[in-house]
Amino acid sequence: AQSVTQPDIHITVSEGASLELRCNYSYGATPYLFWYVQSPGQGLQLLLKYFSGDTLVQGIKGFEAEFKRSQSSFNLRKPSVHWSDAAEYFCAVGGGGSYIPTFGRGTSLIVHP
Amino acid sequence: KAGVTQTPRYLIKTRGQQVTLSCSPISGHRSVSWYQQTPGQGLQFLFEYFSETQRNKGNFPGRFSGRQFSNSRSEMNVSTLELGDSALYLCASSEGGSSNQPQHFGDGTRLSIL
């Protein structure tokens, strides 16, 4: 069975600084990987997804993520954070015979002005 | 296409009551999943339906149940409500119900138990 670990419960950055949110997965074959964002009072919105091919994936809102098989990681990055990026971020992994992706516990991003 | 629609958005109930939440998936999506989200436990999977059949179930007591209709709309029911059931309940849909497909979420129903 697949699993996802998001090691950081909270991350605090200053507006304009770069951001990296960590995600480690456990899965035997090539995984399907997703990043979602949840703003307060809303549902989860898909930021980007990795299925195969180029290991650097571009998403919406200026986010990107890099798949590193050797490290079983799929970290989310943004070069310059905006105050509106303050939200909860979820990493998810799918694949094999499972019907739905497995979600991590989430990382709460706090942005200081 | 319209997104996933959940109704109602907010609900207040008292202990011992029961509640029914509704979810209309994106048109053409046949899989509907339900999640409970609380500050302490995070996002927890409740169950998943595909073509009116429950395929997956999380680790929740039998008080939590669901169903899916022929038009893919889904409802979840919680009976004998407890204070700990206060949470944001999220519904998500996907096309074929495989884990390699992204899920599309509604904005949730905020359930408060008094």
* Mean pLDDT, chain B, integer: 94
Query: In the structure encoding, which two tokens stand for residue A31, read together?
Result: 């995984």
What's the pLDDT tens digit per position in A12-48? 999 999 999 999 999 878 889 999 999 988 999 999 9
Taking only the tens place, the pLDDT of each residue in B13-65 is 999 999 999 999 999 999 999 999 998 888 999 999 999 999 989 999 999 99
Å from B105 to nearest chain A CA?
6
Give the β-pairing of A64-68 and A73-78. antiparallel
User: A100 pLDDT band (50/70/90 cuts)?
Assistant: confident
Give dist(CA A42, CA B39) in Å, integer.
Answer: 14
* Nearest chain A CA: its distance from B5 CA (Å): 11
**Of A36, A44, A99, which is closest to B99 when you measure between CB atoms?**
A99
Question: And the tokens for A52?
Answer: 């195969």
DSSP B35-65: EEEETTTEEEEEEEEETTEEEEE-S--TTEE
